[in-house]
Structure 1
Amino acid sequence: MNMMTNLFSIFDPATSLNFNLNWTSTFILLFIIPLQFWFQSSRMKNLMFSVSKNLNQEFSNLLKSKFGMTSLFISIFLFIMINNVLGLFPYIFTSSSHLSFTLSLALPMWMTIILFSWMKNTKNSLAHLVPQGTPIMLMMFMVCIEMISQLIRPLTLAVRLAANMIAGHLLMTLLGNLGTNINTLMFPLFLVIQLLLIILESAVAIIQAYVFSILLTLYVKEV
């Protein structure tokens, strides 16, 4: 039990002062990202504009709308990606590994989409519960299945993001604890494995942010 407590202590947002200072990593970049603090363009700024431009083009093709609609999903992608990548640095709390963080993003977005769909497009929302070509005997079951699939969407969004971040960080923690007991001859191999794992986790951090935002975009497209 103590071993498991120590293992998951890296995901504990509490501090010795009984104040959740670790959560400040979620918002700290909001003070340095605004463009008015920069006098000239940097490579990081150009990279962010390039990513935003490509995402805007892709989201616009899905939603058939202009930047005003896609900017919300671009902001969600950048916000999640930055928090995921920050969690790979030492002594920085990974807020995206907590359901309180992921649910606070997924649940309001899902509720907004559902309420807008049922208030503005009630007939099509009801028709969407029964796929075209469904036999009459199966319609009742299909309605139940579609309702359940609609209700669990925010939970699947939140759990997918949190579980992927937790899994990678736990693996890195387990391998890191082995570093003090490993043989000297095997230490170079250990470093190579850790480096490859960090590269993999960096890719996962970006991919999970993209998956979260693209799924929200597809949910809006259904509306």
Structure 2
Amino acid sequence: MMMNLFSSFDPSTNFNSSMNWSSTFIGLLFIPTLFWKIPSRTIMLWNKINITLHKEFKILISNSTSQGNTLMLIGLLLLILFNNFLGLFPYIFTSTSHMVLTLTLALPFWLSFMIFGWINNTTHMLAHLVPTGTPNLLMPFMVCIETISNIIRPGTLAIRLSANMIAGHLLLTLLGNTGSSLSMAMLSLLIIAQILLLVLESAVAIIQSYVFTVLTTLYSSEVN
């Protein structure tokens, strides 16, 4: 039995199962279909999505020498999107609501960008610490502010994703727990509200995966 509402987001107590994180790897089951000789409709839709995302990220990166980076970013988006949607199903642990996964995704990307930028484009990285047109008196303060804002970037990425996933699931859980004490008329309204919230959560799952990947792309474009 869960001691509190937030225990549903704790993988060590969720249904007393050690298989909670296995939902993250269910997407690997779809990989063999990519090698079929005749593509199915699902694979054709998958390729169409990949091409659209490639064009989108190519504009954001704006670097002709880094053509393969879009594939890595597309994989990141689809991984987050897949796990966000899996969390909407009953009895499936939402791995993207846990800071272990979101910080694991955000921190290596940010760290690799910083190491690459400071080693190869040191002057460019130093120029980013002082915005154009800053008065000489404010330059030391702007360096401190820009440094702090740069350091907290992986934390903000991880917290944004996990907090949005937790908020919607908590609201669905709170409304669902009140169903047993409501009348038939109020129960009908509750079901309608739950369906609308489920649609909203589906939109949030898409938007948050896109926002996470786009922000990662923008961070990478700053070091070039």
**How high is the TM-score relative to the length of structure 2?**
0.92
Q: RMSD of aligned C-alpha atoms?
A: 2.0
**How far did residue 179 of structure 1 move?**
1.2
The 5-angstrom pairing of residues 53-92 of structure 1 reads 53-64=51-62, 65=64, 67-92=67-92
Q: Does 1:35 align with 2:36?
A: no
Trace 1:48-127 onto structure 2 (pairs within 5 A).
Answer: 48-64=46-62, 65=64, 67-127=67-127
1:115-194 to 2 correspondences below 5 Å: 115-194=115-194
- Letter of the 2:54 partner, please give it: N
* C-alpha distance in structure 2 between counterparts of 1:9 and 1:81, whole Å: 23
The one-letter code of the counterpart of 1:20 is S
Q: Which runs of 5+ in 1 are unaligned?
A: none
SS of corresponding position for 1:90:
coil
Which SS does the other structure have where 2:68 is aligned? Answer: helix
Q: What's the CA shift string for 1:74-96, capped at 9, x where partnerless?
A: 00000000000000001111000
Give the AA of the match of 1:121.
N
Structure-2 residue corresponding to 1:23:
21
**TM-score, reference length from structure 1:** 0.92
Distance 1:133 1:110 in 2: 27
Contact 2:9 2:94 in 1 (8 A): yes
Equivalent pairs, count: 221
How many angstroms apart in 2 are the aligned matches of 1:156 and 1:20? 29
- Aligned-pair CA distance for 1:190: 1.3
- Unaligned stretches of 5+ in structure 2? none
Please tell me whether the aligned partners of residues 25 and 93 of structure 1 are also in contact (alpha carbons under 8 angstroms). yes
Q: 2:185 is paired with a residue of what secondary structure?
A: coil
- The one-letter amino acid of 2:158's match is A
